[in-house]
Amino acid sequence: MDEVQVIANGPLFDGRAVTQLSVFLDEAVDLVAAAAEEAVDRNLAASIRHPSSPPRYQSQINIRHDGLDRVVNDNGVIYGPWLEGVGSRNATTRFKGYSSFRRARQDIEQRVPVIVQPALMHFIEAVSR
């Protein structure tokens, strides 16, 4: 009877991949959130015709960290829903909103693979050592 010996080594077997996967996920989520925040800001800058100086609403856009979740929001500004176009007043006025957050989400969803590429490269480098 022949004998077969299997030696399991490398990042999948010594725990490096699992540790680095957590680092990758955190970095990837941060990159996507930052890109989303930037997209909202860019949309608002292109949409608001007469911005205040400094731009008050845009200065409230931020990223809230909650564990692995990141939420891009307007810090609860009372007129935020109206500017986005989802407030109750939008149905009764001509102003239908800028849809800055919705447009940013659509843009980011299409670009996620490109956005997380640097994090993926860091992960591959870390587990290849």
pLDDT in tens, 91-102: 999 999 999 999
Query: Which has the higher per-residue pLDDT, 6 or 86?
Result: 86
- Confidence class of residue 80 from pLDDT cuts 50, 70 and 90? very high
Total residue count of the chain as it appears in this document: 129
Residue 11 has pLDDT above 90, yes or no: no
The pTM score is 0.86
| Domain residue extents for the chain | 11-128
Q: Which residues, other chains included, contact 42 with Cβ-Cβ below 8 Å and sequence gap of 6+?
A: 104
